[in-house]
Homo-oligomer: A and B are copies of this chain.
Amino acid sequence: MSAKAKETPTKGEVTRLVIEDAAVELFIEHGYHATSMRQIADRAGLALGGIYNHFKSKEEIFEAIILDKHPYKKVLPLVLEAQGEDLETFLHNAVQITLKELGSEPMYMKLMFIEFVEFNGRHGASILSQVAPKVLPVFERIIKGRKNLRVTNPALLMRSFFGMIISYFITEMLISKSVIGKLMPKDAAAAYTDIFLHGVLKEPL
């Protein structure tokens, strides 16, 4: 048992994750306050009381989910490690990789909105304060390294980058339920990326 404690998860750790998985599904389906502890217990396959061996309260489940499954957990390393010979390919890669990764489980983006609506963005604001100092330098480097950028403020570049991603997914989720989804181009993600890049860059790709 001297290893990194990642190899053989405790039975308790497994149950904890089962509860989290059941809860995150239900939260995404109905939101936080409309989901009951009994529903979570049922879907996790145990009795109501059993949950409280792993979590002190319903809110603690939500907080664990935010820590473990928030989309930024996937996006952050991707953006930090994005590569490319020049600025254009770098930004293009960063956007495409991020959209593709998040697109594999688009509903997890809904966690952000649940938190925003039902917790007034309390967790979101604190995540932002932790993450921004790590990500901002990336955008600072982009701006300093190249001259063909129309945007010279790193915070604004960062904001428009993530704003574009958020906008892509929320419009995607709204449109997919409507007929006008049919009118969208095949690779809407690429088209979206394209608009953003041309908005930010001075010269065409």
A interface residues with partner B (beta carbon < 8 Å): 29-34, 110, 113-114, 116-118, 120-121, 124-125, 128-129, 132, 136, 150-151, 153-156, 159-160, 162-164, 166-168, 170-171, 173-175, 177-180, 183-185, 188, 191-192, 194-200
Contacts and interface: CB of A to CB of B under 8 A. Distances in A.
Interface of A: prevailing SS: helix
Nearest to A153: B185
A177 B180 CA distance: 35
A151 to B, nearest CB: 7
Given A129-B178, A153-B191, A154-B183, A116 B173 contact: yes
Contacts of A163: 164, 167-168, 170-171, 192
A176 to B, nearest CB: 9
A149 to B, nearest CB: 11
A99 to B, nearest CB: 13
A170 B166 contact: yes
A160 B195 contact: yes
A96 to B, nearest CB: 16
